[in-house]
């Protein structure tokens, strides 16, 4: 079979396109804010990870422009060789101070973080233990590693302990978990996880992609939220959510970060984060810390939306964060829901198998600090209207 033949055999997406309900690669014609332009019309954006609403902040945009003026459009090389700029080091130092780790290393994408860290730190004869709903990048990183892989039932601490019991104490064991799970919007039971990690002599890595700017007393993530910073070995995250740019980071001990600098392939063989991206993150991190009211507004919006959806009869699963799923069931019904909602002026995202179990398709909402209560109420009204039409309630 040729590659061309394999590509032609894939017809599922084309069938959905032909039905007029294809929900992917929808072009946005404006900045990424609470309201966006699509096909020349205003659409309420309820599907963005721009939690603090900083991607369009004038100071963030100006910081990106200044970084280009000083350093140019790109780095023309990897961090390992000619691509480390002074602002890369500045950001690493400020992030380490923010998340309270000894050191931080920044990467070109969050995906590169999980690919490289797991492949580099956990090897043949070691064990990676994962929640069965971790992000795809963690799964991909574990596949690159030669380590043994073990999964446990989502957020089930008894299941985690049963797995840990089967692994020899003298083996290197890394428990990897999302701080906030990106599909259902629930929070990892990190206090229980670090308790078990100490009991069974494991290291712990938390991916705070959806937690930075959202959880913690200062928006400083899941470990801070549970007050277990000293018991978590590695804290990772992305810049593409609350930090209004693109890139990623890993924080840990100085020795581990030093080791990653000299062994991590996804760092050494990838071009550095661009000056504009890093400049934007530096400013977003500053605003995150000086304007805690943004995080408070995000949580006010979250509580209002969750309460309203539950009162309407929607099944929001285990959500307890600004990521709010609505259970739909059938994949095609989820596509139809997205299409009809966009016709009503509301943008949401579908989540279908294999990202969730077959028959467990979701509509996924993501809230922002820049949403008003009027935006929330309008979204609920439209969700209820279309949900009744599709018999989702």
Q: Which of 82, 144, 93, 116 is nearest to 263 (CA)?
A: 116
Q: Which one of the listed residues 145, 182, 272, 366 is annotated catalytic? A: 182
Helix 58-71 / helix 275-290 crossing angle, nearest 10 deg: 150
Helix, strand, coil percentages in the chain from 3-state DSSP, rounded to 5: 45, 20, 40
Q: Which one of the listed residues 88, 241, 339, 382 is annotated catalytic? A: 241
Residue owning tokens 């507004």 = 297
Burial of 66 (0-12, 13-18, 19+ CB in 10 A): middle
In the sheet with 173-178, reading across from the earlier edge strand, the strands are: 103-107, 248-252, 234-238, 203-207, 173-178, 127-131, 148-152
Catalytic annotation on 307? no
Catalytic annotation on 2? no
Catalytic annotation on 88? no
Q: Which one of the listed residues 57, 135, 210, 371 is annotated catalytic? A: 210
Helix 292-312 / helix 275-290 crossing angle, nearest 10 deg: 80
User: What is the pairing mode between strands 346-347 and 349-351?
Assistant: unpaired
Question: Which residues, in sequence order, are CB contacts of 184 under 8 Å at separation 6+?
Answer: 133, 317, 318, 319, 323, 325
Name the residues annotated as catalytic. 182, 210, 241
């Amino acid at each position: 079979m040729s590659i061309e033949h394999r590509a032609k055999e894939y017809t599922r997406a084309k069938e959905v396109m032909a039905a007029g309900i294809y929900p992917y690669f929808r072009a946005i014609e404006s900045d990424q804010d609470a309201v966006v332009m699509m096909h020349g019309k205003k659409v309420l954006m309820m599907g963005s990870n721009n939690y603090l609403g900083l991607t369009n902040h004038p100071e963030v945009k100006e910081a990106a422009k200044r970084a280009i003026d000083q350093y140019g459009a790109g780095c023309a090389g990897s961090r390992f060789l000619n691509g480390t700029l002074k602002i890369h080091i500045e950001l690493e130092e400020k992030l380490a101070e923010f998340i309270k780790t000894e050191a931080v290393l920044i990467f070109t994408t969050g995906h590169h973080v999980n690919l490289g860290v797991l492949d580099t730190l956990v090897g043949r004869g070691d064990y990676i233990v994962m929640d069965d709903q971790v992000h795809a990048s963690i799964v991909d990183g574990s596949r690159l590693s030669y380590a043994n892989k073990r999964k446990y039932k989502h957020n089930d601490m008894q299941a985690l302990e049963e797995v840990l019991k089967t692994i020899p104490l003298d083996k290197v064991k890394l428990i990897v978990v999302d701080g906030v799970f990106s599909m259902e919007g629930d929070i990892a039971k990190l206090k229980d996880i670090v308790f078990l990690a100490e009991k069974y002599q494991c290291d712990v890595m938390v991916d705070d992609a959806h937690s930075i700017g959202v959880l913690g007393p200062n928006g400083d993530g899941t470990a801070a939220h549970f007050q277990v910073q000293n018991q978590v070995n590695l804290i990772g995250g992305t810049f593409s959510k609350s930090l209004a740019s693109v890139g990623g980071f890993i924080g840990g001990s100085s020795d581990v970060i030093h080791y990653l600098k000299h062994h991590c392939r996804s760092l050494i063989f990838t071009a550095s984060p661009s000056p504009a991206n890093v400049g934007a993150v530096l400013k977003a991190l500053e605003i995150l810390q000086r304007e805690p009211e943004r995080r408070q507004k995000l949580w006010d919006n979250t509580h209002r939306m969750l309460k309203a959806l539950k009162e309407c009869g929607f099944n929001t699963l285990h959500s307890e964060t600004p990521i709010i799923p609505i259970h739909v069931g059938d994949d095609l019904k989820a596509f139809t829901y997205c299409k009809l909602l966009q016709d009503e002026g509301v943008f949401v995202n579908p989540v279908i198998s294999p990202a969730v179990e077959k028959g467990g398709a979701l509509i996924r909402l993501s809230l922002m600090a820049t949403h008003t209560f009027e935006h929330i109420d309008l979204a609920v009204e439209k969700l209820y209207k279309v949900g009744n039409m599709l018999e989702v309630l």
